[in-house]
Amino acid sequence: MSKFFLFALSFFMVSLASFSQNSFNKNKVIAHRGAWKANGLPQNSLASLNQAVELGCEGSEFDVWMTSDGKLVVSHDSDHDGIPIETTTLKELRKHRLSNGEKIPTVEEYLKKGMKQQGTKLIFEIKPSKISTERSEELAAKCVALVKKLKAEKWVDYITFSYEAGLKVIELDPNANVAYLTGNKNPQELKDAGFFGFDYNIKVLKDKPEWIKEAQALGLTVNAWTVNSKEDLEWLLDQNPDFITTDQPELLFEILRSR
């Protein structure tokens, strides 16, 4: 066996090991729309994603809409700078900058930026269309296709208020992690439909705390939004959720360090 062959083989083995290793942070902290608040950054900007990565969050959440010409963009609201996203072209939307000078990110730009690191997962929220359920499903299909094209699967967990969009993602990528946001399905219903978990308003979980253990017993993950007060963060941590979505990742890290 030649030295070169041995060298090539060991290089291949090391590459394989590093490829299969899951190096994402494990600390439950999901920055809601990136880590924007403490530094006055625009929500859902590349800068707020970068800050979530710098903090070492387990995940950074972002919201996705589809423009009138079928392009995927990152924005929380259904409008960008007062312009409705679903009935406006990407070119028109890009004329209006975020407060830090960034253009509204396309999902492709956002994913490519997030894929430059392997500590923080990208929590990809598919927004329900205001036009039709069919458009929500079309958006979901485009999201899955883009994630597949970029080979971004290991970075992405999906969340959505649209049950139909969630089912569409599960149908198109049975290995995708999809959590449901609306709070009107019990753990067994989500399990039966193939969901990865739930990500419910903390008010739902305070009302039905038994769902936390029921979900985890079924192998589902538990996440809650948007948990910002010290009191709520402490209460939820006592329930041992899998993730906590917050506008205040710095505060959550501080509480975790003190425990």
Binding positions for Mg ion, rule: CB under 5 A = 63, 125
Closer to Mg ion by CB, 63 or 247: give it: 63
Closer to Mg ion by CB, 166 or 191: give it: 166
Closer to Mg ion by CB, 65 or 191: give it: 65
Provide the minimum distance between the beta carbon of 157 and Mg ion in the complex, in angstroms, as a whole number: 12
Beta-sheet pairing, 79-80 with 83-84: antiparallel
Provide the minimum distance between the beta carbon of 179 and Mg ion in the complex, in angstroms, as a whole number: 11
Provide the minimum distance between the beta carbon of 63 and Mg ion in the complex, in angstroms, as a whole number: 4
Provide the minimum distance between the beta carbon of 141 and Mg ion in the complex, in angstroms, as a whole number: 20
Provide the minimum distance between the beta carbon of 34 and Mg ion in the complex, in angstroms, as a whole number: 11
How far apart are the C-alpha atoms of 137 and 140, rounded to whole Å? 5
Exposure of 222 by Cβ count < 10 A (0-12 exposed, 13-18 middle, 19+ buried)?
buried
Provide the minimum distance between the beta carbon of 61 and Mg ion in the complex, in angstroms, as a whole number: 6
Closest CA to 71 of 96, 95, 47, 105: 105
Q: Which residue is nearest to Mg ion (CB)?
A: 125
Provide the minimum distance between the beta carbon of 153 and Mg ion in the complex, in angstroms, as a whole number: 20
Closer to Mg ion by CB, 121 or 191: give it: 121
Closer to Mg ion by CB, 128 or 191: give it: 128
Closer to Mg ion by CB, 181 or 220: give it: 181
Closer to Mg ion by CB, 125 or 247: give it: 125
